[in-house]
Amino acid sequence: MNYKPTSFDIAQRAGVSQPTVSRALRGHPSVSEATRKRIEAIAAQLNYTLDENASRLRSRTSKTLALLFFEEVAPEDSSINPFFLSMLGSISRSCSRHGYDLLASFQQLSRNWHVDYEDSHKADGIMLLGYGDYEDYREKLALLEHEGTHYVRWGAVNADYPDGTIGCDNRLGGEMAARHLIERGYRRIAFLGEASSRAPEMDDRYRGACDAMRTHGLIPDPALYVSAQANEASGHAAAQTLLARGANFDAVFAACDLIAVGAMRAFEEAGLKVPQDLGIIGFDDIPIAGQTTPPLTTIAQDYARAGTMLVETLIARINGQAAPTMLLTPQLIVRQSTRAAPTGQN
């Protein structure tokens, strides 16, 4: 029985992925001319014939959208940020309104998302939530762009990937958080979070807080910055580090609610009372924020609007339409983890 060569054989010889071979043989514009010619030459050498019927079958739409949750960096295990779970209901409803099924999956950054989903025709497009280390994640985005995958993402809006991104105005949110603390009489504001290129959303929140402090004549103190990842354990450890430094602070801006929850536990263990001894504000407004003791003041992201916009933007990209970036405006949610406003203020 003669062996019939496959596109995987061509991919191995060409040193490219199987989806790249498939695109090249279909004349997809995302494949460079040099790569296409090399693949076509290898296909000719192997007497490979493209199955047009299979090709037509693969080109059919599935009327399914894939929602990929990505692992957050956590010391105990991989987890999904509750903020993204809050967004799930809105995404599901929006898919239903537009006649699409939703395929949700938990992923590791090491996997090839496009091969598992759009390229295998499980879904017509991909929505990406979460990314861990952005320096690693952006390499995957570059690959998706290069291969012409239909995708949208929730995350930081920056010059590298301006199209098809839905995000919160994090810098404005950080400014709102610090301004709230300052208006409540706090002056020594600590920040717990990762303010670096590896976590651009948190970085924007920190920069916004610094903007507000400078506007009010306060100088951000580097001794009051402690790096923390987006989970409770990291928030707890960061608060312990802040206390161990012996630095003078009267308020904490936590870059996300999970960090804030962990920090509140550390402060309670140290005998400090919130908001009597210090105020604390978070970011996201996940469900647990209203259930802490005391309930957490926070900056809310509009997860309902975010879910709708992710679906509608992805469908637009699938249909070949423009998919502009959108920044959603955050909202201050005042609870009891910051002290009451001075007399005469709201």
Average pLDDT over residues 31-40: 87
Confidence of residue 270 (pLDDT cuts 50, 70, 90): very high
Q: Which CATH architecture has domain 7-59?
A: Orthogonal Bundle (1.10)
Average pLDDT over residues 85-93: 90
DSSP 307-339: HHHHHHHHHHHHTT-----EEEPPEEE--SSSP
Neighbouring CB atoms inside 10 A of 110's CB total 8
- Strands in the chain per DSSP E: 64-70, 101-107, 125-129, 151-154, 165-168, 189-192, 225-226, 251-254, 279-284, 297-300, 326-328, 331-333
Q: What contacts 69, CB < 8 A, 6 or more positions away? A: 80, 84, 104, 105, 106, 107, 129, 130
* Whole-angstrom distance, CA of residue 53 vs CA of residue 194: 51
pTM: 0.79
* Whole-angstrom distance, CA of residue 83 vs CA of residue 245: 31
pLDDT tens for each residue of 64-84: 998 887 655 544 445 677 888
The pair of structure tokens assigned to 252 is 């904490």
* Whole-angstrom distance, CA of residue 270 vs CA of residue 125: 49
Asked if residue 118 has pLDDT above 70, the reply is no
What pLDDT is recorded for position 307? 94
pLDDT tens for each residue of 185-217: 999 999 999 998 888 999 999 999 999 999 999
Asked if residue 53 has pLDDT above 50, the reply is no
User: How far is residue 195 CA from its own chain's centroid?
Assistant: 15
Q: Are 174 and 207 in contact (CB under 8 A)?
A: yes
Find residue 162's DSSP bridge partners.
none
Give me the residue spans of the domains in the chain. Answer: 7-59, 64-168+303-329, 170-301
Average pLDDT over residues 285-311: 95
pLDDT tens for each residue of 138-190: 777 777 776 677 888 888 887 565 567 899 999 999 999 999 999 999 999 99
What is the dihedral sign for C-alpha 243, 247, 251, 256? negative
Classify domain 64-168+303-329 at the CATH class level: alpha beta
What pLDDT is recorded for position 74? 47
Listed range (104-113, 140-149, 262-271, 277-286) with the worst mean pLDDT: 104-113
What letter represents residue 203's amino acid?
A: D
* Whole-angstrom distance, CA of residue 146 vs CA of residue 303: 29
What pLDDT is recorded for position 57? 40
* Whole-angstrom distance, CA of residue 207 vs CA of residue 199: 12
Asked if residue 285 has pLDDT above 60, the reply is yes
* Whole-angstrom distance, CA of residue 31 vs CA of residue 27: 8
Asked if residue 115 has pLDDT above 90, the reply is no
* Whole-angstrom distance, CA of residue 88 vs CA of residue 67: 9
* Whole-angstrom distance, CA of residue 19 vs CA of residue 239: 47
What pLDDT is recorded for position 346? 54
Asked if residue 313 has pLDDT above 80, the reply is yes
The pair of structure tokens assigned to 56 is 């037509």
The residue with greater pLDDT, 179 or 21, is: 179
Average pLDDT over residues 291-303: 96
* Whole-angstrom distance, CA of residue 105 vs CA of residue 265: 32
Among residues 74, 62, 190, 58, which one has the least CA distance to residue 130?
74
According to DSSP, residue 24 is labeled H
**CATH code of the domain occupying 170-301:** 3.40.50.2300
pLDDT tens for each residue of 211-255: 999 999 999 999 999 999 999 999 999 999 999 999 999 999 999
Asked if residue 51 has pLDDT above 50, the reply is yes
Two domains, one topology: 64-168+303-329 and 170-301: yes
Q: What angle do CA 28, 21, 16 make, to 5 degrees?
A: 120
Asked if residue 97 has pLDDT above 60, the reply is yes
* Whole-angstrom distance, CA of residue 196 vs CA of residue 148: 29
What pLDDT is recorded for position 36? 86
What pLDDT is recorded for position 150? 84
Instruction: Please provide the average confidence, as pLDDT, over all residues in the chain.
Output: 85
H or E segment at 20? helix 18-25
Asked if residue 58 has pLDDT above 50, the reply is no
Q: Are 194 and 135 in contact (CB under 8 A)?
A: no
